[in-house]
Structure 1
Amino acid sequence: YLLDLSVIKTVLAMIGKFGITASLSIIYIYSAEVFPTVIRQNGIGIGSMCARTGGVLAPMLYLLKSISPQAPMVLCGLCPLLGSALTLLLPETANRPLPDTIEDVEGSNL
């Protein structure tokens, strides 16, 4: 082997860690732009809660090793891919005013 498999695993783990950290930071910025002012604090709170749920469930991944040794890695690889694919469905917020009311969101192209 030119590269040891442990080196490849470490590099992929660090790329994954970067992605997780970036997405956790971005959720606050993006949710502040999408939710109207009247429910913005609730929207940011729910987004933060959902983001933190992964951290709570992460220790449970070790239990998946009893099913298959690859199950935790597959799950940790598929969930971010699914999440990133779903972000393509989110509206573009660049160069648009922040919505103030729920009617602004319903009537706009967001």
Structure 2
Amino acid sequence: MPIVRTVLAMVGKFGITASLSIIYVYSAEVFPTVIQNGIGIGSMCARIGGVLAPMMYLLRNINPHAPMILSGLCPLLGAGLTLLLPETANKPLPDTIEDIEGESL
């Protein structure tokens, strides 16, 4: 059982690291060039999650399995929400706000 837990933790760590890297690439494609705050907001949300993550240890007082359950459900929720993001393959990158308003990605 400890080996399975370690493997799952490493897969989760890989997913978190990959998603943090993807934030910068995807944000640059979705937000127009004139809006430079988009990448910063995505990064800020990721950093807030990193700051709050150690506090999950306190959930052990409620239920010993609560941190593991929360650590498993949050990435699954995030992965499901990515299905709602627009597709950017083979589409021109928006340069202005009007480019986004005129067409949906």
TM-score after normalising by structure 2: 0.98
Mark the runs of 5 or more structure 2 residues left unpaired by the alignment: none
Q: 1:103 aligns with which of 73, 98, 101?
A: 98
User: Which residue number corresponds to residue 11 of structure 1?
Assistant: 7
Report the CA distance between 1:103 and its aligned residue. Answer: 1.3
Q: Percent identity?
A: 80
How far, CA to CA, are the matches of 1:86 and 1:31 in structure 2?
A: 15
How far, CA to CA, are the matches of 1:49 and 1:20 in structure 2?
A: 15
Mark the runs of 5 or more structure 1 residues left unpaired by the alignment: none
Highest Rg: 1 or 2? 1
User: Which residue number corresponds to residue 31 of structure 2?
Assistant: 35
How far, CA to CA, are the matches of 1:103 and 1:92 in structure 2?
A: 18
Task: Give RMSD over aligned pairs.
Answer: 0.6
- Matched residue SS, 2:87: coil
User: Which residue number corresponds to residue 56 of structure 2?
Assistant: 61
How far, CA to CA, are the matches of 1:81 and 1:64 in structure 2?
A: 19
The count of residues paired between Structure 1 and Structure 2 equals 105
